[in-house]
Amino acid sequence: MDAYLSGETEYGWYLCLDGNKIVGGMGVIENDFHDRKDLAPNVCAVYTEEACRGKGIAGQLLTIVVDDMKSKGITPIYLVTDHTGFYERYGWEFLCMVQGDGEPDMSRMYIHR
């Protein structure tokens, strides 16, 4: 976060607030701890508070992230997940399987072009 706030990187963190409380968020980093270092940058730490799930917060944040990265000329972007069905709703496509650092099983890599 410090690198983003000081202008050292275009990759940043995106939050959804309910008053002063963070109820959702995600970041963009170079690599989300997997073996495909050539697939960058990566959306990471996608999270919505349990009480706020199902309200479209994560989907809106994903759209904001994609639009922000595109406005900076950064495309495509990637994300690693074990979920299926959710990210496809927001224009993400399955790309390949990747090996997470220290993880026994492969994970799904998605791309947004």
Q: Which band of pLDDT confidence, cut at 50, 70 and 90, is reported for residue 98?
A: very high
As a whole-number percent, the residues of the chain with pLDDT over 70 amount to 100
Encode pLDDT of 35-85 as tens digits: 999 999 999 999 999 999 999 999 999 999 999 999 999 999 999 999 999
Cα torsion angle, 48, 49, 54, 55, sign: negative
Q: What is the CA radius of gyration of the chain?
A: 14
**Would you say the pTM of this structure is higher than 0.85?**
yes
Is residue 108 pLDDT above 90, yes or no?
yes
pLDDT of residue 22: 97
